[in-house]
Amino acid sequence: MHPTVTGTTPARGVRKTSIRLADGRELIYFDDREPFLSGTATRSEIDTRSLPVMHTRSDVRYDVLTGEWVVLAAHRMNRTYQPPSEENPLAPTRPGRPPTEIPAPDYDVVVFENRFPSFSQPPAGTVDDTTADPAESFVDGEPLWPRRRTGGRCEVVCFTSDPAASFAELSQRRARTVIEAWADRTRSLSAMPSTRQVVCFENRGEEIGVTLSHPHGQIYAYPYLPPRTQSLIRQSRLHREKTGRLLLADVLDAERRAGSRMVLTGEHWSGYVPAAARWPLEVHLAPHRDVADLAALDDAEADELATVYLELLRRVDRFFPGVHRTPYIAAWHQAPVGADRDLGRLHLQLFSLMRSPGRMKFLAGSESALGAWINDSTPEDIARRLRDVAS
């Protein structure tokens, strides 16, 4: 099957080109350089691999003890894990090397459908249908254990074609292109009938289980509200009933008044360590304006975000003495799609499992079994260190 270009659109200094890979998955180039930006060059590369169409069927089961949904995706068990550099599936396809997930010999930013997604996806060109067969509505026919097919979508975001780079090392221009890609995908995925929340996130470092070292992130279109979002929406609803105001906006205002946990402040964004931080390194980044998601940012907010986010990541990399690249998880929490959207607010949660150089925080009995968190530091000390390592 030869993939075909399905559209090319310039927007905010980025040219977007969508193609189909050999197995029907979508891949989108976000180009910010000439000659692609002016349209004098186009993306015409073809995925030459012989790939069978992946048939995935995740199962989502309800945990009656916690009120949470659990995704079972057995097809991910044997997904690619730490391949040698010459077999990097996220590198560009270059002469003399095996073809990769990206047919082009170079790229700026690329987004494509995950070949091993957590959520079920219908075959290319079909309608997303998440309606469960009534006969499969319960595990073993027991009403205690509801189940359903997922829907949703999982995408991979490659921040750069350089496998040795990191997000913190991107130029401001390239970081802005990544933000544009996040916003574009948030807009598109939010329009899917099954989507309840879109989350963009990056896992970095073998210490936290990253399977591919190439600088990349992921975008999940969740077909249900994840547990943390459910908790946030519950607390936000209670806060609005009590005060008439938005919880996350009040949190940001309170942190800015207190000042002791503030890390950085711009015209449109502020970074702070939350007063009840759970991790030995944790920082949140939020816009000053009430914004539902990345797609709702205006040009000035998106431009400043590219600068502020890079500065924050570079401070994180200087946080631990002697550690060149701090392992971290960075997740963009966005407002739910549909019901309760007015109770959510865009914000970044970035945290590290590292508690000191070479030592990780393991989630043992208290955290894993009981959900009772114990931090080995204080939010004020974390914020102080992040201010001290400013460039």
Residue keyed to tokens 């019901």 = 339
Report the relative pairing of strands 347-352 and 26-31 from DSSP bridges. unpaired
Same structural domain for residues 169 and 49?
yes
Compute the radius of gyration of the chain from its Cα atoms.
Answer: 21
What CATH number has the domain bearing residue 357? 3.30.428.10
Q: Collect the ranges in the chain with pLDDT lower than 50.
A: 1-3, 123-132, 135
Range of the domain at 133: 7-104+113-173
Q: Is the model's pTM score more than 0.85?
A: yes
Same structural domain for residues 36 and 159?
yes
- Secondary structure E strands in the chain: 7-11, 14-20, 26-31, 59-63, 68-72, 109-113, 147-149, 153-158, 197-204, 216-222, 262-265, 269-272, 281-287, 328-333, 347-352, 354-356, 359-360
Domain count of the fold of the chain: 2
Is residue 268 among the annotated active site residues?
no
Q: Which of 173, 197, 215 is the last residue of a domain?
A: 173
Same structural domain for residues 250 and 153?
no
Domain presence at residue 219: no
Domain presence at residue 138: yes
d(CA 292, CA 345): 5
Closest alpha carbon to 194 in 79, 338, 316, 320:
338
Same structural domain for residues 152 and 255?
no
Amino acid identity for residue 104 in this structure: A
Yes or no: say if 183 and 295 are a contact pair by the CB < 8 Å rule.
Answer: yes
Rounded to 5°, the CA angle 347-333-239 comes to 75
pLDDT value of residue 82: 65
Yes or no: say if 83 and 92 are a contact pair by the CB < 8 Å rule.
Answer: no
Yes or no: say if 80 and 210 are a contact pair by the CB < 8 Å rule.
Answer: no
Same structural domain for residues 232 and 339?
yes
Same structural domain for residues 143 and 251?
no
Same structural domain for residues 13 and 160?
yes
Closest alpha carbon to 334 in 203, 256, 233:
233
- What strand order describes the sheet that includes 68-72? 68-72, 59-63, 147-149
Closest alpha carbon to 28 in 257, 160, 185:
185
Q: Which of 214, 216, 284, 347 is catalytic?
A: 216
Closest alpha carbon to 54 in 19, 93, 22, 98:
22
End-to-end Cα, the chain, rounded Å: 50
Same structural domain for residues 363 and 277?
yes
pLDDT value of residue 121: 61
